[in-house]
Structure 1
Amino acid sequence: MKKIIHNNLIWTDYFKIDQQQASELKEQFGLPQAVFDELVPRQTRAKIEEYNNFLYMVMHFPVHNEQKRETRPLELDFIITRDEIVTIHGGTIPALKEFFEGCADHDDLKNQYFKNAGYLLLSMLDKLIDSSLPMLDHIQEKIEQIEERRFRGEERELLMEIAVVKHDIIDFRRSIKPQRSVLNILAKKAPRFLGAESDYLVQEVIGSNLRVWNVLENMKETIESLEETNNSLLSYKISDIMKILTIVSFITFPLSVIAGLFGMNVYDAVGFTKNPNTWWIILTIMGSATVLMVVYFKKRKWF
């Protein structure tokens, strides 16, 4: 647990809160049992609830793990009063950590952000949401790489790359989309808890959320278009392979029939197999059949 106190405003940050700390918060703020029960276990739903003396808010923010090549949403809980903000999270959120440490180490940042609870909260949310944009750069890079490789005959390899990008986009959307409804509710409740001047700040945060969402929408449309193109190319390649196999089957089947016919004992009775030119006759027949079929397939533009 870390705490910053400045200008009669307190910001307390809990990392992996335990039952004892949760009990202390329950006693300090008079938390209802329903809120207390949600502090320690992870919640999957973003929400905001208003109580007599505080707001309880749950939001999720995307955190990218480059080693695992995945983006996962991390929960961040808020308890908000007029003179105190409590943040609770079970994993490291880089943007939150950077903002907290910056305020803790630099008086100018404390003076800038610790004007009141509303200004601190909304500045924090704005930075958390804006931090998603740099994390989207790695997705954009992957999309550009896929665009460059799509006509190089690597359709099978690109299937996995496209799946990874789509998974990242889905995880981002899972974090970003629910934020909007929470922020819209916060805009209505902010004047009471955060002061009338917080209204324009809430709108800025909503604008940041919309910017991130629009980028995600563009990426979603792009990767879906690339997936469709890649699937079409892969289908064409498979169709081409099947066409070649079909042509080979058409050519080899008559040759097998001809070879089988001349292998029958009935030709021994008429002395055909004893003719020294029999081999060349059979070879000529088979070659002629092959040439005729190739010419036929060529005219039909099978290859």
Structure 2
Amino acid sequence: MPSVPRPRIRRTSRARLAAATPSRTPLRDEPNIAEVEYDGLRWINIERPGPLERAWLEEHFDFHPLDYEDVASRNQRPKIDEYPDYLFIVLHFPVFDKAVGRLNAAELDMFVGPDYLITIPNEPIPPVSYLFERCTSNSDFRESLLSKGPGYLLYRIVDDAFDYCFPMLRKMGNKLERIEEDIFEGRSREIVRDISNAKQEIINFRKIVRPQRAVLNDLERTKQRFISGDLEIYFDDIVDASERIWDVLENYKEVIEALESTNESVISHRVNDILLVLTAISVVVLPLTLVASIFGMNVGLPGGGDPAAGPSTSFWIIIGSMVVMLLGMFGYFRYRRWL
């Protein structure tokens, strides 16, 4: 991305922020900023940034105003913007929301400079939080992580976030196996909802992973500015992990579609079996119904009333009409090749 002029950013004072905040909302005196440093490299982690955190960023870093707007926005697509002295990266990762029981996309905004890396998740991302906690509590791990520069730190954050996807994929695979077993155990009608939920999870996962495949390729192209040459193979590994995730999702998509088709076929076969039984019952009862209908007519019948009178002309007319209708329907069915 070409260099852009840096207008002076209008600062928002804490007093003005406090005045704009409703009185019923508790005010914070300090922004929620977590920071760890080693050998001149700073890792700043800001979870769920609010106005106070954004004001702190504007005060301490001279980023482009559009980047601050992207941080405040909740509807950003994965992307990478290149500036003369830093990179701005937006990535999405799947996070399971227990409140609604489904996968959601968690956005991770990152600023990468020569001596700092800022991570700004819009909601806690477990692998990023865990990595930052280890870096804070373990001095040896902090030294091994931050001593290799911002490029290696960026690699570890993104790599751990992608590795976190594989256990989620394994759980989805186990769910597909259970659905396949249930289909052939006579629970085809009950698992229609399970198939729908699994299909929705796969669709959501694909929506999260697909747009950032191009971003990872752009990252591989622009990484030379902050990453030494011996780390190039690490970022190739991230691209490979992303492609493996996409291949698994493609496979799961085909599997769930096949399971859905198989389940519909099983339900159709069972409906056909039920119709076969009902048809057999109808055929068995049909002659009895025919006899009862004929002898229930209000005309002279053979063996009914006066034996000397015999059956009336109306009786024979009705029987003849029924035979003609039977032959006509039989001929029509043969014409349509239904028989």
Q: Decide: shared fold, TM above 0.5.
A: yes
Number of aligned pairs?
274
**Any residues of structure 2 matched to 1:122-161 within 5 Å, and which?**
122-161=155-194
RMSD: 2.1
1:172 aligns with 2:189: no
User: How far is the alpha carbon of 1:274 from its aligned partner?
Assistant: 8.8
Note the 1:72-111 alignment, pairs <5 A. Answer: 72-111=104-143
Specify the SS of the correspondent of 1:76: strand
Check the 8 A contact 2:36/2:43 in 1, yes or no: yes
| Residues 43-76 of structure 1: per-residue CA shift (max 9 Å, x gap) | 2411111112211111111112456431111111
- Map of 1:199 onto structure 2: 232
Read off the aligned partner of 1:5 and give its amino acid letter.
Answer: E
Query: Residue by residue, what CA displacement relative to the aligned partner does 1:227-273 show, whole Å, maximum 9, x if unpaired?
Result: 221111112222333333344444445533432221223247x6526
Q: 2:248 aligns with which of 215, 229, 232?
A: 215
- In structure 2, do the counterparts of structure 1 residues 274 and 203 end up closer, same or farther at CA, with 3 Å as the change threshold? farther
Question: Which residue among 44, 48, 70 is the counterpart of 2:102?
Answer: 70
Q: Which has the higher helix share?
A: 1
Identity of aligned residues (%): 34
Task: Give the drift of 1:83.
Answer: 0.9
Checking the alignment, whether the CA contact within 8 Å between 2:70 and 2:76 is kept in structure 1 is: no
State the alpha-carbon separation in 1 of the partners of residues 306 and 264 from structure 2. Answer: 57
Larger radius of gyration: 2
Displacement of 1:201: 1.7
CA shift, 1:155, in A, is 1.1
Q: Judge conservation of contact 1:130–1:212 (CA < 8 Å) in 2.
A: no
5+ long unaligned stretches in structure 2: 1-32, 308-339
Q: 1:39 aligns with which of 59, 71, 96?
A: 71
Give the match for residue 241 of structure 1.
Answer: 274
Alignment CA distance shift 1:139-1:67 (3 Å): farther
Q: Do the aligned partners of residues 86 and 234 (structure 1) sit closer, same or farther apart at CA in structure 2, a change above 3 Å counting?
A: same
> Which stretches of structure 1, 4 residues or more, deviate above 6 A after TM superposition?
none
**1:26/1:32 contact within 8 Å kept:** no
Secondary structure at the counterpart of residue 134 of structure 2:
helix
- 1:23 paired with 2:47, answer no
Q: Distance in 2 between matches of 1:25 and 1:195?
A: 27
Answer yes or no: is the 8 Å Cα contact 1:191–1:197 preserved in 2: no
**Which of the pair has the greater relative contact order for Cα pairs under 8 Å at 6+ separation?**
1
> CA separation in 2, counterparts of 1:194 and 1:274?
113
User: Residues 226 and 274 of structure 1: is their aligned pair in 2 closer, same or farther, counting only changes over 3 Å?
Assistant: farther
Structure 1, unmatched stretches of 5+, are: 276-303
TM-score relative to the length of structure 2: 0.75
